[in-house]
Amino acid sequence: MDGRLALAGLAVDVNSAHIALDPLPEITIPQPPTAAPAPYATPLAALLHRAVARIEKDGWARGALREDGRRCAIGAVRVEADSREQADDACALLLEIVRREFGGEKTVPSWNDAQRGPRPVLLALGRAAELADLRGQ
């Protein structure tokens, strides 16, 4: 019996000698995505850019500053601002863009609530960021 087992083991070794063992693949742990840096160096432009990112991340709301984690344009600006004055300045730029490019609404909240989706809001925040950057704000 020992002879048969030795012969069978030798047969397995001979028959499997051509099979090359591949080395184990290198395992890498994926890194969490990092937020893209703001393309603006000026504080108000960077704030407005962060407000866009906030709405894209948390979602857009209308009828309230915040609803179930989603935010309206003003709510996104306020949460990203370093101070009340900075938020007020950013909202003034946003109102200027809304009046100039979207039909002369009296307030940003009324304009925000009249939108059917987040696209115009994100567009207005982006244009306000561009304007702030051009003005060096």
Instruction: Give tens-digit pLDDT for 108-135.
Output: 999 999 999 999 999 999 999 999 999 9
Indicate the pLDDT class of residue 34, thresholds 50, 70 and 90: low
φ, ψ for residue 71, nearest 5 deg: -135, 145
Per-residue pLDDT of 57-68, as tens digits, reads 999 998 888 888
User: CA 32, CA 99: separation in Å to the nearest integer?
Assistant: 39
Mean pLDDT calculated for residue range 34-58: 88
Q: Domains of the chain: which residue ranges?
A: 43-137
What percent of the chain lies above the pLDDT cut of 70?
80
pLDDT for residue 95 is more than 80: yes
User: Averaging pLDDT over each range in 12-26, 79-93, 94-108, which range is the top one?
Assistant: 79-93
pTM (2 d.p.): 0.72
Rg of the chain over Cα atoms, rounded to whole angstroms, equals 30
Closest CA to 65 of 107, 104, 103, 113: 113
